[in-house]
Structure 1
Amino acid sequence: MQFQTNENKKVEIKVNGKIYMRHAIHTHFVHPGENYLDIFQKYVLPIYEPGDIVSCSEKIIALCQNRIVKREDVHIGFWAHLLSRFASHPTTGVGVGETIKMQYAIDKVGLLKVLYASIASAVTKLFGKKGVFYEIVGQEVSGLDGFYDHVWKEYGDIGIEMPANPSGVCNEVYEKLGVQMMLVDANDLGQELLGCSDSITLSEKELLGLIRDNPAGQGRQCTPLILIREKKTTKPSI
């Protein structure tokens, strides 16, 4: 098998003294309601070997689970308009600087918590600390993707929530297909492990080290699955 990665990404990576090879698996564009087991069966099983680990983007699992919020169902109110004016506007996706995500945050965790998070964020920014807003409102808000058509126009009018039961999904894939996997929320700025198969013996730090350069990319690559295989070294004959 020929291992191939996305542009500007390396096939090999060293983690904890071992060398691993990564292969970016190209898939079709995944739509809401598809079956993730079918996706793994089609794209992963033909090249998978025992001991491999597949890193999977949380987005395609969430889409398969229909964890979708439609723009038309988010009714933006006064507080979302006001508070979003004081939030930052990241270039990597939609943040609470956009009124629709601020309203989503209010709908999810309540206005009082969002007000508290906004005040705390404003104060801590004065001391150079960022990210406090999302620490307070939680992963469900920070993990919302979509409502952003800069890369995929299909995501312009939908928000994609975090997948439900990440570790359960990983264990289901292993039980039914024999594929070890980890579910990650990753981009070029950072990576987060959401869940993994119980059969995996590597630590969270090691697993994240395998994808620390975000080999899946964050453009239009359509490579949400990364096959990872430890490179076996042959001992020289005596």
Structure 2
Amino acid sequence: MNPYITLEANEGKHVERSVDGTRYNRYAIKTHFVKEGENLHEIIEKYIVPIYKEGDILSISEKIVALCQRDVIYKKDLKVGFLAKFLSKFVVKNKHCYGLRNVYKMQAVIDIVGPFKVIMAAVVSVLGKIIGKKGVFYEFLGNGVANIDGFGDEGFEYYSDMGTLAPSNPEKACQSIKDTYGINTMIVDANDLGVEILGTNKELSGLTIHLKNIILDNPAGQEKQQTPLILIRPAEEQTRTTA
């Protein structure tokens, strides 16, 4: 094992979690600060391959996959218009981030799906709130707009002038890791408000709810932990391999 890779939880998070009668240890793997255009396989080889045990599952933050795939957009390429400025005023800010209150994120959404669909989503969202249903705006738009991050909303200077989009074909990226290294992999968009699994390798298909429950408490953390990789290991397997 690489002596610089530690198997522990982030501060304030629990290592162990039980799901459907199975106990799992979730290890937050600290990496270097991943930037646009890096090679995802090289990151896996550096931080995961040395510590991998058969039966482990790898959870990867969608943000570093997007960076590696260059699924990014820059402020300089966005022309913020009236609609983005107007709609962003009505977005409720949560304690973790501004979300679409950030006008650059809102403009990116408008550029991706078109202004008409965004206006329709806003109308439907108001109706949803009347009947007590949340998340209607994102559900109506689809196209990964809920996965847009960055634009100075992440606490890192690197993201001040850029945003990351939903990674392209996350299933393909997961399958490539599985085929190359034999590691079952999922790509997730997770925060302390919720978890979305964007893709898995085909061997994990049908296990989405189970996998989501394993990381439902967001073991990667919400602040500047810099732990975009979570190594999930059945606790029983951990006992056998270290005995």
- TM-score, normalised by the number of residues in structure 1: 0.92
- The offset of 1:201, in angstroms, is 6.7
Residue aligned with 1:55, SS: strand
Q: How does 1:1-238 map to 2 (within 5 A)?
A: 3-200=7-204, 203-232=207-236
What percentage of aligned pairs have identical amino acids? 46
The CA distance in 2 between the partners of 1:45 and 1:150, in whole Å, is 28
Contact 1:29 1:222 survives alignment (8 Å): yes
Please state which structure has a larger fraction of its residues in helix. Answer: 2
- The offset of 1:23, in angstroms, is 1.2
The CA distance in 2 between the partners of 1:128 and 1:202, in whole Å, is 30
The CA distance in 1 between the partners of 2:84 and 2:73, in whole Å, is 17
- The offset of 1:89, in angstroms, is 2.4
- TM-score, normalised by the number of residues in structure 2: 0.90
Contact 2:174 2:199 survives alignment (8 Å): yes
Contact 2:184 2:201 survives alignment (8 Å): yes
- The offset of 1:124, in angstroms, is 2.3
Residues 54 and 150 of structure 1: is their aligned pair in 2 closer, same or farther, counting only changes over 3 Å?
Answer: closer
Deviations 1:26-73 (A, max 9, x none): 100000000000000000000001111011111100000011100111
Consecutive unaligned residues of structure 2, counting only runs of 5 or more, are none
Residues 201 and 145 of structure 1: is their aligned pair in 2 closer, same or farther, counting only changes over 3 Å?
Answer: closer
C-alpha RMSD over aligned residues: 1.9
Contact 2:98 2:153 survives alignment (8 Å): no
The CA distance in 1 between the partners of 2:183 and 2:120, in whole Å, is 43
- The offset of 1:95, in angstroms, is 2.2
Residues 209 and 156 of structure 1: is their aligned pair in 2 closer, same or farther, counting only changes over 3 Å?
Answer: same
Consecutive unaligned residues of structure 1, counting only runs of 5 or more, are none
Residue aligned with 2:199, SS: strand
Residue aligned with 2:144, SS: helix
The CA distance in 1 between the partners of 2:206 and 2:130, in whole Å, is 39
Residue aligned with 1:199, SS: helix
- Letter matched to residue 112 of structure 2: K
Contact 2:27 2:231 survives alignment (8 Å): yes
- Letter matched to residue 151 of structure 2: F
Residue aligned with 1:33, SS: coil
Count of paired positions: 235
